[in-house]
Amino acid sequence: MTTVSLTINGDRRQVDVEDRTLLVDLLRETLGMTGTHVGCDTTQCGACTVILDGKAVKSCTILAVMAEGAELRTIEGLADGDTLHPMQQAFCDNHALQCGFCTPGMIMAAVNIIERHGTDIDESLVRRELEGNLCRCTGYHNIVKAVLDVAGKLPRASE
Amino acid sequence: MTQKPGKLRAEFRTELPSGWAFDEIEARIGPIRDQLFKQIGQPVRRKEDRRLVTGRGRFTDDFSVPGECYAALVRSPYPHARIKGIDPSAALELPGVLAVYTGVDALADGLGPIPHSPVPSTKFDVRLTAPDGEAPFIGPHLLLPIDKARHVGEAVAVVIADTKARAEDAAERVDVDWEELPHVTDSLEAIRPGSPRLWDEVPDNTLVCSHFGDADATDAAFQSAAHRVRAKFHINRVTAVTIEPRAALADYDKASARSTLYAGSGGAVRQKRELASVLGIDPDDLRVLSYDVGGNFGARNRVYVEFGLILWASRKLERPVKFTATRSEAFLTDYQGRDLHTTVELALDENGQFLAMRADNVSNVGARCVSLSPLSKGSGLITGSYHIPVAHLVARAVFTNTMCTQAYRSSGRPEVTYAIERLVEIAAEQCGFDPIDLRRRNLVSADQMPYRNAVGAIYDSGAYEENMDKAMALFQWPDIAARRDDARARGKLLGVGLANYVESSIGSPVERAEIAVSPDGEVEVVIGTQPSGQGHETSFAQVVADMLQMPVEAVTITLGDTDIVSVGGGSHSGRSMRHAGTVMTMASADLLAEARRRAGAEFGTPAEDLAFEDGAFKCRATNRFLTLSDLSTATAPLAVARTNEMHAPVFPNGTAICEVEIDPDSCQIEITRYASVDDVGRCINPLIVHGQSHGGIAQGVGQAMWEDCAIDPSSGQQIAGSLLDYGMPRADNVPSFDCEIAEVLSPTNPLGIKAGGEGGTTPALATVTLAVLDALRPLGVRDISMPITPERIWQALASAREANMQELVP
């Protein structure tokens, strides 16, 4: 067992984990933070996306011990009390989620797009950036709309 | 379905069988007045979103129970192999391993097969039978087989350990003594005499063979026809890829002898009923919880062996047991979809009028028959949106050494839509008709409804030609030539594919609603459907809110807990909004009748003199009123329950058009435009319905372009075992969509609902394929099979070049 110290959503945490523990399992199993999901075992689906030291990463492909000293943000830390993060609000407003399973990872990836690119984004950039997050319900149409909505750039009025 | 075998012709404005049209008097609901609708038809934001965007969803694997242990499965590496023995000793030696159970143990404990009911059972479903006319043999689905494994990935033993990793390690040490047997994975191979047989009971692996329509009249029409065209297609096998892998957690309470199963599914009531039967326990001793479900698309409707296995293990070990499939397990053993071989023929007169159709459909059901819905649904719709006076269909279902297939998004309809639309296009080209004119000439028209097609399905309502015109306008059809020129200037080949579709939504016929208004004004609705993203908590609340004239915020929908929900058909076949909308409307009428009676008694006036407005009964000529909550007390709550049985199918329909650009050098395909018009009947929430269209299109496009459960015939192995090798629609390979909703009400239910969940998928296989063929036609390509990968395009272009060369060299 190894002790890992990291900051999760602003709280400093110390957790004992087996060396082979994945970061996503530390979140879900050790800490009971089940907002971050697991949809595959090959780093393809992106349901486990979190923001680690300012970068969107897939937490199923990082060992928990590699997050030593890191600052981690997950879906649980995004809203400010009852006030949703603008990306969460845009997902609701644009019906950018159906079953909601990919949503936490999708939102974290989307938040990070805005953080890295600012609001100077267009549909093709958003689509390229979200290529690593799979959604089976929405056909991505409304997800792309939601991200552009946050950036103030909805391309067209049609649904 | 009311076909008389041997003498069936299509019929305009057909006479309706008893129980087909909705009768508001018999249903005791009275007329529904559209002008009262304030919420119905509005794009109300979803109630379920807040928990899902904040990470507070309740998906199956999110649940944990103290002391839980984990199940891992020992699976067959062979498509067909006899189990000569299973030695668990090496596994049991590992630390933390609690048990290894085999099929022999399950049999000794009296566990039964999963009681699948594969033959669709409503009054209007087509009747599929065994070749001898009897009920088909479906292959008993034991939790673990005792004789042999019949497909790669079939579980033959279950290991329980205190951690997931230990269970997986131990599963690898279970020693199975296999005797490999010859196998067959393709259904056309499987029906050949002498092919390896999966079940001794079923010769030629053919469990179903049924005929529909009128063979003699069809033969006669073909003989005298000016034109005849014929084509063979394989609609490839795909899988649902719900992003949430299937999972379950079984918890046994020894004191009460009850089990609780947390398991996301397509309907908890069915899971409870069938799993109780497997375990041989009283259904009351099993509670199934299905809260947030991370996608279904049909794959979660039926019971999985793992659910029964962990229930059984948790009762034996008196410990909670959890199973969460890996993505690889999901690829191997989620119920899969499609896999239909079809041969279709069309006869036309010299003007392009369709005269007759023949179809021979062979459905690959896999190693056991879990569902005949795909074959059945497709059988009723072989003639598509077109008037074809006579037809003859042979429908067969076949066992093979593959994972079982099941209804997958728009079960059976994309297959036959693909077949008829491609056939129509072939007819247009071979006989020299414009493909749009040919469709227009033969579409069933609005004034011919209700229309009984040549195999007996009765289309309820629709304006098919209007759909096509609207979709072409949305697509900016007249500009195609200019766009084609523009693409050519950029070195790209542009192609356009249009498909009309009609589909049948039927589904389990019984649904129940319980509605209670509390004294503080909260409305609780208990219903037996099971959403997996379709927004029932919102759209159902909209319906009840309008019926009771209450705010939508006051209405809470409760579902997914079998201790609360006693009856319900789950969600499949576009049934939920229609069945729930109907029974909630009925229950609302009952509730208002009771409230009116109470209000009359309070006011001391005849109940029928009271007016009902804005959620309150008003005494005319006075300003006295009583709200529904006023009329509900803790001791006498205002609460009703209604169960409804409804058999008549509805026929959502529409038109979709796809545009692609192909790079002839790299053979990359880009979808540059996609438009659709979908007649869903009454649309309750356009935000949600549009979302369904978008997702449905992506799923259909996925099958056409990337998705494929390819099976290597020599080894019987499925080639795609992960998301690395199963191509999926992604944000960067699908476009934004131009979708429009059409609302031609259905006469079969009080709100006129059809369905909105599957129309996106149904025509998409055809639109993409036809668009690609349109782009490649100038280069001599006439056929291409799905998925249309760049490799397939390259092969098609190479073959066409070779053929052209041979034509040039005499």
Query: Which chain B residues are within 8 Å of A91, Cβ to Cβ?
Result: 49, 53
d(CA B415, CA B359): 12
pLDDT of residue B568: 86
CB B642 within 8 A of CB B28: no
B528 and B476 in one domain?
no
Of all helices (H) and strands (E), which one includes residue B494?
Answer: strand B493-502
DSSP B646-671: ----B--EEEEEEEEEE-TTT--EEE
| Amino acid found at B464 | Y
* CATH number (domain holding residue B776): 3.30.365.10
Beta-carbon contacts below 8 Å between A and B? 187
Please check whether residue B695 touches A, CB under 8 A.
yes
Is the CB of A95 less than 8 angstroms away from the CB of B297? no
| Nearest CB partner across the interface for A93, out of B45, B730, B760 | B45
B72 belongs to a structural domain: yes
B3 belongs to a structural domain: no
Task: Report the candidate in B538, B541, B550, B468 with the shortest Cα–Cα distance to residue B763.
Answer: B468
B797 and B740 in one domain?
yes
B808 belongs to a structural domain: yes
| Nearest CB partner across the interface for A92, out of B45, B244, B724 | B45
Structure token pair of residue A94: 């644009």
Of all helices (H) and strands (E), which one includes residue B627?
Answer: strand B625-627
Structure token pair of residue B330: 């999901």
Length of chain A: 159
Query: Which chain A residues are within 8 Å of B533, Cβ to Cβ?
Result: 97-100, 137
B592 and B680 in one domain?
no
CB B575 within 8 A of CB B720: no
Structure token pair of residue B587: 């229950």
CB B38 within 8 A of CB B552: no
Range of B805's domain?
A: 458-501+652-810
Report percent pLDDT > 70 for chain A. 97
pLDDT of residue B3: 43
Which 3-state string (H, E, C) describes B66-82? CCCEEEEEEECCCCCEE
Last residue of a domain, one of B443, B471, B491: B443
B23 belongs to a structural domain: no
d(CA A46, CA A44): 6
B117 and B212 in one domain?
no
Q: How sure is the predictor about A158, in pLDDT bands with cuts at 50, 70 and 90?
A: very low
Length of chain B: 810
B220 belongs to a structural domain: yes
Nearest chain B Cα distance for residue A69, angstroms? 24
Q: Has residue A154 got a pLDDT over 80? A: no
d(CA A8, CA A75): 11
Which 3-state string (H, E, C) describes chain A? CEEEEEEECCEEEEEEECCCCEHHHHHHHHCCCCCCCCCCCCCCCCCCEEEECCEEEEHHHCEHHHHCCCEEECHHHCCECCECCHHHHHHHHCCCCCCCCCHHHHHHHHHHHHHHHCCCCCHHHHHHHHHHCCCCCCCCHHHHHHHHHHCCCCCCCCC
Task: Give pLDDT tens digits for B197-250.
Answer: 999 999 999 999 999 999 999 999 999 999 999 999 999 999 999 999 999 999
B634 contact partners, CB below 8 Å, separation of at least 6: B519
Residue spans of beta strands (DSSP E) within B184-257:
206-213, 227-239, 247-253
A82 contact partners, CB below 8 Å, separation of at least 6: none
Tokens 């978008």: give the residue. B694
pLDDT of residue B2: 41
How many domains, chain B? Answer: 4
Query: Which chain A residues are within 8 Å of B695, Cβ to Cβ?
Result: 98, 136-139
Last residue of a domain, one of B595, B613, B645: B645
| Nearest CB partner across the interface for B243, out of A45, A76, A145 | A45
CB B711 within 8 A of CB B80: no
B377 belongs to a structural domain: yes
d(CA A127, CA B735): 9
B175 and B108 in one domain?
yes
Task: Report the candidate in B651, B617, B610, B650 with the shortest Cα–Cα distance to residue B631.
Answer: B617
Domain residue ranges in chain A: 2-77, 86-150
- Does domain A86-150 bear CATH number 1.10.150.120? yes
Looking at B47-111, list the stretches that DSSP marks H as alpha helix, in order from N- to C-terminal side: 49-53, 89-92, 103-108
* The domains spanning A2-77 and A86-150 adopt the same CATH topology: no
Task: Report the candidate in B335, B273, B224, B262 with the shortest Cα–Cα distance to residue B59.
Answer: B262
For residue B192, with 0-12 CB atoms within 10 Å meaning exposed, 13-18 middle and 19 or more buried, which class applies?
exposed
Question: Which residues does chain B have with pLDDT short of 70?
Answer: 1-6, 810
Q: What are phi and psi of B164, to 5 degrees?
A: -65, -40
Query: Which chain B residues are within 8 Å of A47, Cβ to Cβ?
Result: 243
Structure token pair of residue B171: 């599963």
* CATH number (domain holding residue B257): 3.90.1170.50
CB B142 within 8 A of CB B201: no
Looking at B173-267, list the stretches that DSSP marks H as alpha helix, in order from N- to C-terminal side: 187-190, 215-224
B628 and B569 in one domain?
yes
CB B685 within 8 A of CB B542: yes
A49: β partners: A58
Is the CB of B691 less than 8 angstroms away from the CB of A95? yes
pLDDT of residue B123: 82
B475 and B536 in one domain?
no
pLDDT of residue B810: 59
Nearest chain B Cα distance for residue A70, angstroms? 21
- Is the complex ipTM more than 0.85? yes
B656: β partners: B499, B676
Residue spans of beta strands (DSSP E) within B329-429:
336-348, 354-366, 390-399
SS3 B405: strand
Task: Give pLDDT tens digits for B748-785.
Answer: 999 999 999 999 999 999 999 999 999 999 999 999 99
Last residue of a domain, one of B333, B354, B386: B333
Is the CB of A44 less than 8 angstroms away from the CB of B732? no
Q: Has residue A53 got a pLDDT over 80? A: yes
- What is the second-level CATH architecture of the domain A2-77? Roll (3.10)
Name residues 281-300 of chain B within 8 A of A (Cβ). 292-297
Report percent pLDDT > 90 for chain A. 94
pLDDT of residue B29: 87
The conformation of residue B644, written as its DSSP 8-state character, comes to E
Task: Walk across the sheet containing B625-627 and list its strands.
Answer: B611-613, B616-618, B625-627
* Interface mutation target, options A37, A131, A141, A145, chain B, most CBs of B under 10 Å: A141
Please check whether residue B724 touches A, CB under 8 A.
yes
| Nearest CB partner across the interface for B243, out of A47, A76, A141 | A47
CA A19 to the chain's CA centroid: 24
d(CA B82, CA B65): 37
Query: Which chain A residues are within 8 Å of B238, Cβ to Cβ?
Result: none
Q: How many helices (H) and strands (E) does chain B have?
A: 19, 28
B519 and B489 in one domain?
no
Name residues 492-551 of chain B within 8 A of A (Cβ). 532-535
Angle at B278 between CA B273 and CA B284, to 5 degrees: 40
| Nearest CB partner across the interface for B738, out of A123, A139, A158 | A158
| Nearest CB partner across the interface for B292, out of A32, A100, A134 | A100
B25 belongs to a structural domain: no
pLDDT of residue B6: 58
d(CA B530, CA B273): 15
d(CA B254, CA B698): 47
d(CA A23, CA A37): 12
Work out the mean pLDDT of chain A and round it to a whole number. Answer: 95
Task: Report the candidate in B574, B588, B547, B584 with the shortest Cα–Cα distance to residue B681.
Answer: B574
B122 and B145 in one domain?
yes
**Do you find a cis peptide bond into B203, omega within 30 degrees of 0?**
no
B101 belongs to a structural domain: yes
Nearest chain A Cα distance for residue B467, angstroms? 18
B378 and B346 in one domain?
yes
Is the CB of B53 less than 8 angstroms away from the CB of A37? no
B129 and B75 in one domain?
yes
B249 and B146 in one domain?
yes
